[in-house]
Structure 1
Amino acid sequence: MSLLNSPTVPSTDGSIHTNTASYKHPVGDDLLSPTEPHQHGTANSHHSHPLTEIPLKQKLRVAVVGSGLAGLTVAHILSSLHSDNGQGGVGIEVELFEKAHKLGMDAASLSVTCPCQKCALAAGRDDGDPNHEHVEGRMDVPMRSFFPEYYPNLVRLYRSIDIKFHDADNTLACFDVTFDSKPVPLASDPVSRLNHDVNIGAPYLSSRSYKVSKDHTITLPDLPPLSVFNPYPFGRRLLGYYRIARDYVRMLMVSKEFMTEGRMMEIGKDRSEWGNGRQASLREFLVNGRYSHDFAAFFVPLFACVCTCSFERMMEYPACVVLEYVARCMPFGRMQFVSSGVREVTENLSKNISKIHYNTMIEKIIEADVVADGDKKAPIILVDSNGVRRGFDHVIFATQANQAATTLAGQKASKPLPRPYVTSREEGEDESNFGRMEEHDRTDPETPRDISPESILKNHPFYNQIKILSKFPYERTQVVCHTDTSFLPKDPSAWRLLNIAKATDADILASPFDRVTAELKQQEQEQEKEQQQSIGFSIRPFFFPKSNELNQRINKAMGHDSGISSPEPHSGSSTPTSTASQSHNSAMATHIMNNTAQSLGTTTKFLQTTNPIFQPRPDTVISSAWFERAVVNPESMKAVDELYQQMEKQTDRLLAANSASLSAPFSPPSSPSSPSSSSSISDRVWFVGSYAYPGIPLLEGCVVSAVQVMERIIEAEPSHRLAPSVTAPKESFLKRDAPMRERRLRRKKEATVKENKSMEDDKEDIDNSISATYFRTAWKDTLEDERIWEEQEKARQVQEEEAAEEETRIQSKKGHFLSAVGSWTNNVYVEVAFMLLLYIAAIVQWLMVFMIESAGFDGSRWALA
């Protein structure tokens, strides 16, 4: 049942409050003992009475702004925390604010209108198709696919809220799109390319999956049928596949070697090879590594689709970020999809949130003693677009970084993203909830002006946060749901789950930042040479561009001109927001939704295209929506570390202030937390989201950043005695995350010890930044998490089957056998040998399919097409 159809209580301020049912948690053992606050360095050791004698204060009030996965996750786990060391009631009252009319993670998704005649007649329409099968289901917008190897925390979250997901065959087709003529600018559609000017080429690379064991599927490329009269296409394709396979193996070896050694961030830095001593970009890795054009034509569009960005931005990605994804997900990773769609995810995560405010835009944050709606004192006040003020102890921004910076600065974007339109709305929903198909759905809307740190005074309470948040770049993308099969290869037998296209004139290795900096460096060298010849010594050329001039030239090369400069001279992206889908130098990904949602049937192909480089026929469009996606460059990687350190310092200051208030002998029992002289209003503002965690900005970062903020609030509020897993049910995320939390606390203490020892011994500082730690340990943590999950599942199975002695004995034997096999497979040589055996089995099937199709028969039954 939809959250919108659940019992709700309208409020006087226009919000919708969800009713929370009370439930009883079984009491269990927590990782932390009652003396844990002392271990965190609270004031427990500075006052005479023990912490357990301190009167428990009222519930913490926490506001979460934004209801994407990050906002829903942090609100879900905070709403599950109990006070009094877990023996009391829920210790946090969470209010969720969403500017749209429904939860953000599912806001653009839609239900498919069935085209069959029976459904049309039932709806009072006469346009039903008597030959069309009945279909029902939803389309997640955008597509929510994931690889468990890269998303261990997301998988743990889904399992804890009983979300079922299934794998899909990693079938792929890559092809080129040729335009007969240049697009003619129109007043209402300046960058569109009409369908009759578009020619779809045959795939230059396609693949199918081959099942070689119960749990393993291998994807191999397709070969065209061999023709004796014209062997050139076969030979050319075979040569291209050889180059792709060769470079793919090279990349796998490099990425896995650096990953297992914990040196991912050192890729490309070795000056003895081709390094320059700094963070290597993906373009530098591909060019200096001499990867073939055939491989780049496959690899770059594929990852431009994963990262949802243009080729220019893709080439700015640090190589370590992309190669870490390769090392963890390839070659055996399989794409997963939520079986029932993300609506179930949003419903399950929002069940225990006490209050949700829809259609509520937060415009600014102020500091005050008394709020307008009551006598409760609060250190931080939220002001919405209706002028309503609400007081909270903490505020968590679960929005994009640029949106959070705008709100903190008290400014408004010049023009927000247009609301999505749908041509087939859900039953019972008002048409006014959605926009209409307008010019902005065919063209790029005006880019909102991002906040420049130079425009913010240094005494602004959120100056440091705004300065950091402004360093995260974004690209705007369009996602269109439609039924126009002209977005697929002409031959239906070449259609795959994911169909990636690029324009023939696209420059996949384009990187304006590299071009401009190389040009400026050459000018500087020429000027120095001229001055040496004229005056005999070298001085710095006066005409060498300053930082803002460099950024303006970068923006001009990238097609942007915002007029906002960046404080860093070589940021590579002084304009945080750009547009991928209208640059036409990006990959267009078309996903056949029927392949992952059987309820959509097979009669009509329901398609979802991201970054369309030409527009579908208007009569085939179901919906259109715009999104902004964070991208990664060296500056944003540093910003992740800076944001992490900023919130760590906030935690320390709040902990010191709250501990000092606890040490006061006559502290009022019911007084809420209040700001101290050592902490400010900015210390109570936190940030979560895909951008706030190392790696590619994906759903995994949303979950992990939410967990980190939860732990910071627990640590900073010792008087509330919040415990993450004492009373949590066994199946909850808090309980499943308990072993991982213990590992995080242990690693944090070890890093502190190493850092102190390094300072005492006057050695070189050890890099304990969040990015460095992530690239050293994330892959190991994933393996450990899976092992812990398997152990928990085995224990659960044994408990459930104790009543059946025979079944228990069988399961026990099976468990011993799996344990033995697991010990064997821990050996890297055994893993390599096993991988080779699976590949041999897959190649046998692959050759059989090739011979069958060369003879003119259908070989797809032997492959998972």
Structure 2
Amino acid sequence: MTATHSCSDAASRAGSASVKPSLAVIGSGIAGLSAAWLLKQKYDVTLIESHDKVGMGVFSVDYQSAGVDNRIDIPLRVFCDGYYPNLLALYRHIGVEIEAGDHAGVFFDHRGKEVLHYGNVALGRYRFSLPKLKSLFSWRAWRLMLAFRRFNRLAQQALLTDEQLRQKTLQQFLQQQQIDGEFTEQLLLPVLAVTCTCDYHSILNYPADVILAYLTCGVWQFGIIHARNGVDDIVPRLTQGIQVQTGQTVQSVRSCGEQLQLTLADGQQQRFDQVVIACQAQQAAAMLDGFDQQQAWLRQVPFETSTMMVHTDSGFLPQQGKGCSAVSYCLPPQGRQRPQVSVDLTKAIPRYRQQGTVFQTWHPTFEPGAGQLLAKVAFTRPLVTLESRAAMQQLRQQQQQQCDNRLWFCGSYLADKVPLLDAAVDSSVAVAEALGVEIPWQAAGH
């Protein structure tokens, strides 16, 4: 059913449906979910999602093996204590169980020869990465590890003392510090290409301080953690008490008197007192009608698309998986910009350990064997450049300083960090604070 309303009756409808003013959140990734959950304290929130399911779980698949049924989150969502304070505070506040995973990794060159293999040693809440037996006797592996230690030390010093660091790209930092080229090509760029799901040249164009802050946050000491029961546990907690509209694509957002009007793909129009756009920057820019400055800022955010597959084909690993680890990096030949990286879920995540081996592979270079593909998905990830950071700083300032705002933006691209889960929650916290909403875990002193 299509509903069309004129601007003239906006005032009469405002606040008539409930005591609270109305607010729409467009997009239901973690940015939209956390924004909706925070803002429901003060607003009557409607969450609008273009897919048929709420966004965080839209690509999840069932996996039945060895008599055990499980759901596999796509993509795998892992994080660490050092870089995800708001995400972890949110999850703990709503009762999401957190557990540790295995982040041990092995790097192979493009011929399948092992370059470096490290494992994890736990000591209380700390986990240390140490070389595996074969790497203990490899001068190449030790050279890479020593280069990593030097890089880490220089990164920490630069973050504390280099006043010009925010104006430098990662490539400029690497050149100025004369960072070992073999370490950069065989360890640093492959890790970051998976973390940021983009090409090597995009990583090198990141602001240096953004990358260095991530790499020195403690991920190597604390290891990775994840939500024990996945997104199927998270989404119901964050959507409780919120109206959810799925299968609805917003075509445009424009001012309509005292409110904002959303026009959906089916022609339906809905109006709200406040609107939070929590989808990707390029999608947000495309739906704006009459917000030229915000649109110009959003178009400064570049993005890249990456492919990920869930499958059971061990042929993606060198030597059919012998000597492989929870995470296996297959480095590209000269001239290619991305490694193929396979995560063995049965090694990395405890809930899959009783099942047959299943992988998530980023940047796959071939197709799995017949009957071994469970899912293949393309993801779009925002990038950070010196130019996009300057544009997002202006957008954040505009949201914070103008008291008559009705249109808000949140998403991982808006925080001055690597665009990961915590950056998305950071941006929703900023919107909630600007709208006068108390952040529960801050009030509790967490």
| 2: CA distance, partners of 1:265 / 1:313 | 23
Match of 1:320 in 2: 209
Q: Which amino acid aligns with 2:281?
A: A
Secondary structure of 1:94's counterpart equals strand
Match of 2:279 in 1: 399
| 1: CA distance, partners of 2:263 / 2:101 | 45
Residues 491-524 of structure 1 show CA distances to partners (whole Å, capped at 9, x for unaligned) of 6442211111122223xxxxxxxxxxxxxxxxxx
| 2: CA distance, partners of 1:281 / 1:613 | 29
User: Is 1:257 matched up with 2:157?
Assistant: yes
| 1: CA distance, partners of 2:361 / 2:320 | 18
User: Is 1:221 matched up with 2:109?
Assistant: no
| 1: CA distance, partners of 2:248 / 2:218 | 39
Which of 716, 733, 736 is the equivalent residue of 2:441?
736
After TM superposition, give the deviation of residue 315 of structure 1 in Å: 1.1
After TM superposition, give the deviation of residue 330 of structure 1 in Å: 4.6
Residues 805-862 of structure 1 show CA distances to partners (whole Å, capped at 9, x for unaligned) of xxxxxxxxxxxxxxxxxxxxxxxxxxxxxxxxxxxxxxxxxxxxxxxxxxxxxxxxxx
Q: Which amino acid aligns with 1:735?
A: P
Alignment of 1:687-706 (within 5 A): 687-706=409-428
Q: Which amino acid aligns with 1:284?
A: Q
Which of 49, 70, 73 is the equivalent residue of 1:137?
70
Residues 312-332 of structure 1 show CA distances to partners (whole Å, capped at 9, x for unaligned) of 111111211111112212541
User: Is 1:97 matched up with 2:48?
Assistant: yes
After TM superposition, give the deviation of residue 343 of structure 1 in Å: 1.5
CA contact (8 A) 2:262 2:271 kept: yes
Match of 1:295 in 2: 183
Aligned length: 431
* Change in CA separation of 1:478 and 1:491 when aligned onto 2, cut-off 3 Å: closer
Structure 1: state its 5+ residue gaps.
1-11, 15-56, 82-90, 115-132, 179-200, 227-233, 268-277, 370-377, 410-460, 507-583, 655-682, 715-722, 725-733, 740-787, 790-865
Which of 83, 93, 100 is the equivalent residue of 1:160?
93
| 2: CA distance, partners of 1:379 / 1:175 | 56
Match of 2:408 in 1: 686
| 2: CA distance, partners of 1:612 / 1:13 | 43
* Change in CA separation of 1:400 and 1:101 when aligned onto 2, cut-off 3 Å: same
| 2: CA distance, partners of 1:640 / 1:264 | 23
Residues 41-84 of structure 1 show CA distances to partners (whole Å, capped at 9, x for unaligned) of xxxxxxxxxxxxxxxx94211011001000010101111x2xxx
| 2: CA distance, partners of 1:314 / 1:631 | 8
| 1: CA distance, partners of 2:34 / 2:252 | 23
Match of 1:408 in 2: 288
Q: Normalising to structure 1: TM-score of the pair?
A: 0.48
Q: Normalising to structure 2: TM-score of the pair?
A: 0.91
| 2: CA distance, partners of 1:112 / 1:331 | 30
Q: Which amino acid aligns with 2:334?
A: D
User: Is 1:363 matched up with 2:324?
Assistant: no
Which of 305, 309, 313 is the equivalent residue of 2:194?
305
Which of 384, 394, 401 is the equivalent residue of 2:264?
384
After TM superposition, give the deviation of residue 601 of structure 1 in Å: 4.0
Secondary structure of 2:222's counterpart equals coil
Q: Which amino acid aligns with 1:241?
A: A
Alignment of 1:439-454 (within 5 A): none
After TM superposition, give the deviation of residue 647 of structure 1 in Å: 1.0
Secondary structure of 1:99's counterpart equals coil
CA contact (8 A) 2:135 2:142 kept: no
CA contact (8 A) 2:328 2:343 kept: yes
After TM superposition, give the deviation of residue 359 of structure 1 in Å: 0.6
Alignment of 1:237-248 (within 5 A): 237-238=138-139, 240-248=140-148
| 2: CA distance, partners of 1:71 / 1:264 | 35
Secondary structure of 1:637's counterpart equals helix
User: Is 1:499 matched up with 2:328?
Assistant: yes
CA contact (8 A) 1:172 1:496 kept: yes
CA contact (8 A) 2:347 2:353 kept: no
Alignment of 1:390-789 (within 5 A): 390-409=270-289, 461-490=290-319, 492-506=321-335, 584-602=336-354, 604-651=356-403, 654=404, 683-714=405-436, 724=438, 734-738=439-443, 788-789=445-446
Secondary structure of 1:302's counterpart equals helix
Alignment of 1:275-294 (within 5 A): 279-294=167-182
Residues 534-564 of structure 1 show CA distances to partners (whole Å, capped at 9, x for unaligned) of xxxxxxxxxxxxxxxxxxxxxxxxxxxxxxx
Secondary structure of 1:705's counterpart equals helix
| 1: CA distance, partners of 2:294 / 2:245 | 25
| 1: CA distance, partners of 2:351 / 2:35 | 32
RMSD: 2.1
Match of 1:754 in 2: none
After TM superposition, give the deviation of residue 223 of structure 1 in Å: 4.1
Comparing both structures, which one devotes a greater share of its residues to strand?
2
Greater radius of gyration (CA): 1
Which of 53, 58, 61 is the equivalent residue of 2:22?
61
Alignment of 1:335-346 (within 5 A): 335-346=224-235
Secondary structure of 1:624's counterpart equals strand
User: Is 1:111 matched up with 2:73?
Assistant: no
Secondary structure of 2:428's counterpart equals helix
Match of 1:204 in 2: 115
* Change in CA separation of 1:487 and 1:309 when aligned onto 2, cut-off 3 Å: same
After TM superposition, give the deviation of residue 203 of structure 1 in Å: 1.9
* Change in CA separation of 1:63 and 1:225 when aligned onto 2, cut-off 3 Å: closer
* Change in CA separation of 1:104 and 1:705 when aligned onto 2, cut-off 3 Å: same
Q: Which amino acid aligns with 1:359?
A: G
Q: Which amino acid aligns with 1:219?
A: S
CA contact (8 A) 2:102 2:223 kept: yes
User: Is 1:333 matched up with 2:222?
Assistant: yes
Q: Detail structure 1 runs of 4+ shifted over 4 Å in the superposition.
A: none
Secondary structure of 1:224's counterpart equals helix
User: Is 1:350 matched up with 2:260?
Assistant: no
CA contact (8 A) 1:134 1:601 kept: no
| 2: CA distance, partners of 1:476 / 1:712 | 32
CA contact (8 A) 1:281 1:319 kept: yes
* Change in CA separation of 1:169 and 1:600 when aligned onto 2, cut-off 3 Å: closer
The alignment-based identity, stated in percent, is: 28
* Change in CA separation of 1:686 and 1:618 when aligned onto 2, cut-off 3 Å: farther
| 1: CA distance, partners of 2:31 / 2:391 | 19
Q: Which amino acid aligns with 2:364?
A: P
* Change in CA separation of 1:367 and 1:224 when aligned onto 2, cut-off 3 Å: closer
| 2: CA distance, partners of 1:108 / 1:163 | 20
Alignment of 1:18-33 (within 5 A): none
| 2: CA distance, partners of 1:225 / 1:691 | 38
* Change in CA separation of 1:703 and 1:290 when aligned onto 2, cut-off 3 Å: same
Secondary structure of 2:179's counterpart equals coil
| 1: CA distance, partners of 2:104 / 2:70 | 23
Structure 2: state its 5+ residue gaps.
4-17
| 2: CA distance, partners of 1:386 / 1:137 | 36
Residues 627-660 of structure 1 show CA distances to partners (whole Å, capped at 9, x for unaligned) of 1001111111112211111212333xx1xxxxxx
| 2: CA distance, partners of 1:635 / 1:112 | 42
After TM superposition, give the deviation of residue 616 of structure 1 in Å: 2.2
